[in-house]
Structure 1
Amino acid sequence: MAGHSHWANIAHKKSVIDAKRGKVWSKLSKAIIVAAKMGGPDPDSNLRLRYAINDAKAISMPKDNIERAIKKGSGEIDGSNYEEVLYEGIGPAGVAIMCDILTDNRNRTAPEIRKLFEVCGGKLGATGCAAWTFDRKGLILIAADKADEEALMDLALEAGADDVRREGEVFEVICEPDSYRGVCDALAAAEIETSSRELTWIPRDTIEVSGDDARNVLKLMERLDDHDDVQSVSANFDISDEVLAEISAGN
């Protein structure tokens, strides 16, 4: 879990920076379009759409952009036909990587993702090459200074969470996909601020990486995350805080 926590925190900080440049707006627009297409344009009855809208508002995406994306998804105005695809691959040091994709052109996206793996010492694989080592879970991150650990644990577990644990400066709330809505709603009702929340892939086991392997793994994760069609990336690497600090310092 530690490796996934590292990336979840890195990705969240990165998304805040990217949001200032408008880089994540296109990804969130896609998420809203697909959610509206699958469940309708009413966020009160469409949980997936409600969360997509909340995520968009959290990074100050303009209201007009949100409304336009909803209309594209509901068919009120013309828009691209996006489909969900899961790509799996193996990165440096045998790290397993899962990429949740939204694309309107698989023939464009697949070779681009394959190239990103190759230039970073990895390989895009066949279906099942990485998924066997992950479980689909809800993952909610909360800054440690935003909640009391005991109270958070009582609330989350009562709402259906599997586990609540502290990793560094954040609490992780982990739940089954079927419990995700109840847990998110319980946290919102208690006015507990979340840093991020997502349905993601949690590794069953992790691979510890260091040195050039760690640098290349993070480089691959960052490049995948930067790709317009990649909605989220998960991996089973573990990097110690010391190694992560060295990489961040450029050593």
Structure 2
Amino acid sequence: MAGHSKWKNIQRRKNAQDAKKGKIFMVHAKNIYLAAKQGGGDLGTNASLRTAVDKAKADNMPNDNIERAIKKATGSLDGVSYEEFNYEGYGPGGVAVIVQVLTDNRNRTAAEVRHSFKKNGGNLGENGSVSFMFDRKGYMIILNEDDEISEDEITLQALEAGADDVIVQDGGYEILTAPDSFDNACQYLKNNGYQLEEAEITLIPQNYTMLSPEDEEKMNRLIDMLEDNEDVQDIYHNMKTDD
């Protein structure tokens, strides 16, 4: 899976978030809300929520804000009601794109996402038009920037945890699991001393599309524009990225 786009997406998102520290609590609140909505508000049984909360605390998000986001998601606090859904379409050069959003105004978000596609040479499609090109997987990142974790070590531990695959990247490892093995794998790795930089159920492309330099530039502009939209939670695509 060389050139795996998920790793690149996360690096891009981190850079974008670092440049917008004023919005970081809003990003964390939505991520916590989404994780609690999907898997419940119990940190003990929801690995995605634990990871989202840990990241929020690392950025000094107040506990009251964290608890409020969880309560909104579980229906125990009145407030803004968010909807989660996906847009599907094609970017420049026929790249398959799925945009995951969390919004309190579906009409506004639809118009903004449609505009982003149109402005950058893409077009939105119907539900199901590209989702068949992706597999739903549990996904984790373990950083290894100082080369302290050997490939053999993490591969053995990940397989013991129930992982399907370990992908070596520059500066870390990606670990893939079946969705129903995700929570147990997260807990196993944490219990064995590994820190999970990312942990989520995500979409992984089955194959990748190579673009011309011109189309790749347009596709990167589309991604940048979507990432600037506060309603966009994640962007999945099958553009082939550099190794």
Q: So what's the TM-score if we normalise by structure 1?
A: 0.85
Name the stretch that deviates more: 208-217 or 6-15: 6-15
Q: Structure 2 vs 1, CA of residues 152 and 25 (structure 1 numbering), >3 Å: closer, same or farther?
A: same
Identify unmatched segments of 5+ residues in structure 2: none
Q: Structure 2 vs 1, CA of residues 50 and 206 (structure 1 numbering), >3 Å: closer, same or farther?
A: same
Q: Aligned ranges for residues 96-175 of structure 1 at < 5 Å? A: 96-144=96-144, 145-175=147-177
Give yes or no for the alignment of 1:10 onto 2:22. Answer: no
Q: 1:232 is paired with a residue of what secondary structure?
A: strand
Give yes or no for the alignment of 1:231 onto 2:233. Answer: yes
User: Residue deviations 1:193-239, cap 9 Å, x none?
Assistant: 23322221101000112412111111211221221111111110113
Cα pair 1:165 1:171 within 8 Å, conserved: yes
Q: Aligned ranges for residues 66-77 of structure 1 at < 5 Å? A: 66-77=66-77
The number of residues matched between the two structures is 240
User: Residue deviations 1:16-66, cap 9 Å, x none?
Assistant: 514x61323223212333444566544234444333322322433222321
For residues 9 and 196 of structure 2, the distance between their equivalents in structure 1, rounded to whole angstroms, comes to 13
Cα pair 2:47 2:186 within 8 Å, conserved: no
Aligned to 1:188: 190
For residues 50 and 197 of structure 2, the distance between their equivalents in structure 1, rounded to whole angstroms, comes to 17
Q: Structure 2 vs 1, CA of residues 237 and 105 (structure 1 numbering), >3 Å: closer, same or farther?
A: same
Percentage of pairs with the same residue: 41
For residues 146 and 12 of structure 1, the distance between their equivalents in structure 2, rounded to whole angstroms, comes to 25
Aligned to 1:249: none
Aligned to 2:30: 30
Amino acid at match of 2:94: G
Q: Aligned ranges for residues 14-93 of structure 1 at < 5 Å? A: 14=15, 17-18=18-19, 21-36=21-36, 41-93=41-93
Q: So what's the TM-score if we normalise by structure 2?
A: 0.88
Identify unmatched segments of 5+ residues in structure 1: 242-251
Cα pair 1:146 1:193 within 8 Å, conserved: no
Aligned to 1:219: 221
User: Residue deviations 1:101-120, cap 9 Å, x none?
Assistant: 11122111111101011111
